[in-house]
A and B are shown apart, each in its own frame.
Chain A
Amino acid sequence: MQFRSLAFALSLALVSAPAAWAGQRGQAKEQVEFGIQVAQRGLWKEAIYRWERAAQIDPTYAAAFNNLAVAYEHEGQLAKARAAYEKALALEPNNALVRQNYDLFKEINDRAAQKDGR
């Protein structure tokens, strides 16, 4: 009887885990999409807030970190932008779009670093 209860609990957990994960991703996706809308209207601070929320809700969502990096770059927060790009690439190392963004960012960041004599 005990074994049956345990098996039931385990299978319930297995069934509900992907559903919970999908729910988190869904919420994060909503935040990301809203962030894109406001960024397109030039409201970058609001976009940052949305993408930070998305990254909190689902810390495995590479798009949230990529977008956050772009926003930080636009705001001149280059150290934060680098960290966010690196996180996005760690989550999706083969994502060519994130890689392209990161390469473009590095060009600017290296120039700024050269100027600072860093």
Chain B
Amino acid sequence: MTARHKKTVVRRTAGGRTKATLCLALLAVATACTSYTEIPIETPIQPKLDVSAFQRIFIAGFIAGANEDVDANMETVRLLRSQLRNKGIMRVIDADTLPLLEIAKQNSGDANTPPVPDQQAVTPAQDQDKPTVINDEKDLERYQHIFANVAYWKKIGEEYQQPLIVTGAVLITPSQASGFVQREQETYDPFGRRVVISVRTYMERKGFILRPTFIFIDGRTGETLHSETFREQILYNANQQTPALSSYFELMDRLLPAFLNTLSAQKIKGTRTLLK
């Protein structure tokens, strides 16, 4: 009985050793197979537009809806000009921002119509005391003919020595959304240790949606070269009071690399894994 028992024990031990050896061998193979090293890389992305024909750029102005807190036309012009200056992308023309909405209102919408003689000559109409409400693309449609007015843009181009002209529309609208959000919650376990767990909670949220369209116009011909539309949204807890202006800058900050990449090559930094 004892001998038989001993035999079994010996056999088990031998089997266990074999298994352990096999596991170690597999682990060694796996380690050898997954031998790797991380390396930083910078991927160059070529610009969309060939702007070699232009030495100067004129951020002309944007059609923007009335918003009590954000003058999206002025802010966008200021922001884009400063970004272009900082990056040294072409010579930025420092001129008055065009009141594009007013110009579009006065212009008939016919692309062959002679341009408005001078943007300074735009006289405010009687109903212009009331701010124009532009909440969505539908409201915007009424004024978009200005971008196709080749004669108008050619005239602007002549005025500023035929630069690359940047114009478009910028909509910033409030948004609301409610639903479940995941957030980290700090608790302590029975042993007094700090534990962070993810919890899903229902939350009322509000924020803003930014929808800018950037139109690049050839100042020599008045023709549109390229157009890009973006959409970014930001939401906060409904109790949080975040000014529209700071949300505007936060959202524009996300879009700026894409805008700049239209004019100049950009390098996207990242990390990749090299295998042995």
The one of B39, B258, B262, B276 in contact with A70, judged by C-beta atoms closer than 8 angstroms, is B39
Could you tell me if A97 and B34 are in contact, using CB atoms closer than 8 angstroms?
A: yes
Could you tell me if A39 and B48 are in contact, using CB atoms closer than 8 angstroms?
A: no
Could you tell me if B46 and A76 are in contact, using CB atoms closer than 8 angstroms?
A: yes
* A82 in contact (CB, < 8 A): no
Classify chain A: how many residues form its interface, as a range.
Answer: 20 to 34
Q: Which residue of the partner chain B has the closest CB to A98?
A: B275
Could you tell me if B261 and A74 are in contact, using CB atoms closer than 8 angstroms?
A: no
Query: Most B CB atoms within 10 A — which of A32, A70, A105, A108?
Result: A70
Cα(A75)–Cα(B261), bound, Å: 17
Cβ–Cβ < 8 Å partners of A40 in chain B: 37, 39
> In the complex where A101-B272, A101-B273, A108-B268 touch, is A115 in contact with B45 (Cβ < 8 A)?
yes
Q: How many residues of B contact A (CB 8 A)?
A: 21
Query: Most A CB atoms within 10 A — which of B39, B43, B48, B258?
Result: B43
The one of A67, A78, A111, A115 in contact with B275, judged by C-beta atoms closer than 8 angstroms, is A67
What are the interface flags for A8-27 relative to B under an 8 Å C-beta threshold, 1 for contact and 0 otherwise?
00000000000000000000
> Which residues in chain A, 35-58, are within 8 Å of chain B measured between CB atoms?
36, 39-40
* A2 in contact (CB, < 8 A): no
Cα(A53)–Cα(B180), bound, Å: 53
> In the complex where A74-B43, A76-B43, A115-B261 touch, is A104 in contact with B272 (Cβ < 8 A)?
yes
Cβ–Cβ < 8 Å partners of A95 in chain B: 275
What are the interface flags for B262-275 relative to A under an 8 Å C-beta threshold, 1 for contact and 0 otherwise?
10000010101111
Cβ–Cβ < 8 Å partners of B36 in chain A: 97
> In the complex where A108-B270, A115-B261, A116-B48 touch, is A33 in contact with B42 (Cβ < 8 A)?
no
24 residue pairs A–B, Cβ–Cβ below 8 Å: A36-B37, A36-B274, A39-B274, A40-B37, A40-B39, A63-B274, A63-B275, A63-B276, A66-B273, A67-B274, A70-B39, A74-B42, A76-B43, A76-B44, A95-B275, A97-B36, A101-B272, A104-B270, A108-B43, A111-B258, A112-B45, A115-B45, A115-B258, A116-B48
Beyond the given A74-B41, A76-B43, A97-B275, could you list 12 further A-B residue pairs with CB under 8 A, ordered by the A residue number?
A29-B276, A36-B274, A39-B274, A63-B275, A66-B273, A66-B275, A70-B272, A74-B43, A76-B45, A108-B43, A115-B258, A116-B48
